Amino acid sequence: MSDHPNSDHKPDRLPNERGFDPHEEAAYADDTLHRVHQQLQREKEEPTEGFSPIPIFLLFLFGGLVFWAGIYMANNSGEFRPDIYNPEWKPGGGGNETAAAWDPIKRGDRLFRNNCAACHQADGNGVPGSFPPLASSPWVVGDEARLVKILLRGLQGPIEVMGTTYNGAMPSYGDNSGGAGWSDRDIHAIATYIRQSWGNGAPPVSEETVAAVRAEIADRDKAWTAPELLEMHPME
């Protein structure tokens, strides 16, 4: 490059050449210039390598990476099939098995963790003062129609659960406005799950029961209140 000082002459700028800009004179006071000059000369004494090759350890590192990449792709590609999502999939094994049998507890467990546990907690004990417990609650293990109604329309206003009064709002999982619109099957799964977890030992709620209750309350849109439910289904 033209402005690279490659011969012995001084850097081609001297303080007095910069007459148009006296402010900068200080910057190029003699000692600086001297230093610059020194530096340039010193640099020149160093051996010129020309083209510096890649350090050898880098070559090894890059080679190793490429090797790893090949192995990794070979082991985790699912044969490049668009329908394989699991890296553990092996040709001939796994994937092709018949669909797992329907298990309401397994499904219920999942639904519970993803939907209810945030309020009623993973151990089903609720949060004192805010969310009532499900473990050993008579509302859960008692009349199944009452439970399904709660799940299908939600609940609001004061409610007494095992001697404590709560006053909050329980969301709806049914098909009313604002409800989450769960299927009969999922309501059956969650109801069965909460009736049989944390030491609760009530019988399962069948899909048919859910369908029947759903049909029965089709005209209602609002959430229930506890007294309302108790009137229809008195506490055992």
Residue 145 engages ligand HEC in binding (rule: CB under 6 A): no
Residue 194 CB, nearest distance to ligand HEC (Å)? 5
Which of 89, 104, 120, 149: binder of ligand HEC (CB under 6 A)? 120
**Residue with Cβ nearer another protein (84 or 211):** 84
Query: b/e for 128-149, b at 16 or more Cβ within 10 A?
Result: eeebbbbbebebbbbbbbbbbb
**Residue with Cβ nearer ligand HEC (76 or 164):** 164
Alpha helices in the chain (DSSP H): 30-45, 56-76, 104-111, 117-120, 138-141, 144-153, 184-195, 207-216, 226-232
How far is Cα 233 from Cα 149, in angstroms, rounded to an integer?
10
User: Helix or strand or coil: residue 181?
Assistant: coil
Residue 10 and residue 37 in contact, taking contact as beta carbons nearer than 8 Å: yes
Query: Judged by CB under 8 A, which stretch of 12-20, 141-149, 184-192, 225-233 contacts another protein?
Result: 12-20
115 binds, among another protein, ligand HEC, none (CB under 5 to 8 A by kind): ligand HEC
> Rule CB under 6 A: which of 194-213 touch ligand HEC?
194
Binding stretches for ligand HEC (CB under 6 A): 115-116, 118-120, 131-134, 137, 139-140, 147, 150-151, 155-157, 159, 161, 166-171, 173, 190, 194, 226
